[in-house]
Amino acid sequence: MNDMPVVIVTGASRGVGASVARWLGKIGAAVTLMARSGDQLHQVAADVKLLGGMPLTVVADVADPKACARVVERTLGKFGHVDALVNNAGIVEPLSPVAMADSESWRYNIAVNLLGPFHMARAAILGLRRQKGRIVNVSSGAANIPIRAASAYCAAKAGLTHFTRVLAAEEPSLVCVSVRPGVVDTDMQVVIRQEGPKVMTPDQMAYYQGLKSEGKLEPSWEPARSIAWLSLYAPQEWSGKFLDYDDQEISQPALSMFGKSLAENTIFSTKEEET
Three-state DSSP state, 123: helix
Report yes or no: 230 and 243 within 8 Å, Cβ to Cβ: yes
* Domains identified in the chain and CATH numbers: 6-183+220-263 (3.40.50.720)
Q: Is 214 exposed, middle or buried (0-12, 13-18, 19+ CB in 10 A)?
A: exposed
Residues 6 or more apart in contact with residue 117 via CB below 8 angstroms: 62, 87, 137, 160, 163
- Residue 69 contacts residue 121 (beta carbons within 8 Å): no
Kindly tell me if the per-residue pLDDT of 263 is higher than 90. Answer: no
Predicted confidence at residue 31, as pLDDT, reads: 98
Inter-residue contact 73 to 127 (CB < 8 Å)? no
Q: Which residues contact 206 (CB under 8 A, 6 or more apart)?
A: none
% of residues, the chain, pLDDT over 90? 91
pLDDT at 1: 58
Residue 133 CA to chain centroid, in angstroms? 17
**Distance (Å, rounded) from C-alpha 25 to C-alpha 48?**
5
Residue partners of 178: CB distance under 8 A and separation at least 6: 136, 137, 138, 139, 143, 160, 161, 164, 241, 242, 243
Task: Give CA torsion, residues 146, 148, 151, 153, to 10 deg.
Answer: -80
245 is catalytic: no
Pinpoint the alpha helices (H) of the chain.
15-26, 38-51, 65-79, 103-110, 116-131, 151-170, 187-199, 202-213, 221-233, 248-258, 271-274
Whether the Cβ atoms of residue 57 and residue 78 lie closer than 8 Å to each other: no
Q: Which of 153, 208, 233, 245 is catalytic?
A: 153
At residue 32, the pLDDT reads 98
Selection from 243, 115, 239 nearest residue 171 by Cα: 239
Query: pLDDT by residue (tens digit) across 144-186?
Result: 999 999 999 999 999 999 999 999 999 999 999 999 999 998 8
How far does CA 104 lie from the centroid of its chain?
23
User: How many residues comprise the chain?
Assistant: 275
Question: What value does the mean pLDDT take over residues 181-202?
Answer: 92
User: What residues have CB less than 8 Å from 98, skipping those under 6 apart?
Assistant: 151
Please check the confidence at residue 2 and state whether its pLDDT lies above 90: no
| Contact by Cβ (8 Å): 55, 25 | yes
Write down the pLDDT at residue 274.
34
Mean pLDDT across the chain: 94
Cβ(258)–Cβ(5) under 8 Å?
A: no
Nearest Cα neighbor of 126 from 88, 159, 85, 91 is 85
pLDDT beyond 60 at 271: no
Average pLDDT over residues 197-202: 92
Residue-wise pLDDT tens digits, 18-75: 999 999 999 999 999 999 988 999 999 999 999 999 999 999 999 999 999 999 999 9
pLDDT of residue 273: 40
Taking a C-beta distance cutoff of 8 angstroms, is the pair 224, 23 a contact?
A: yes
What pLDDT, on the 0 to 100 scale, is given for residue 3? 83
pLDDT tens digits, 125-134? 999 999 999 9
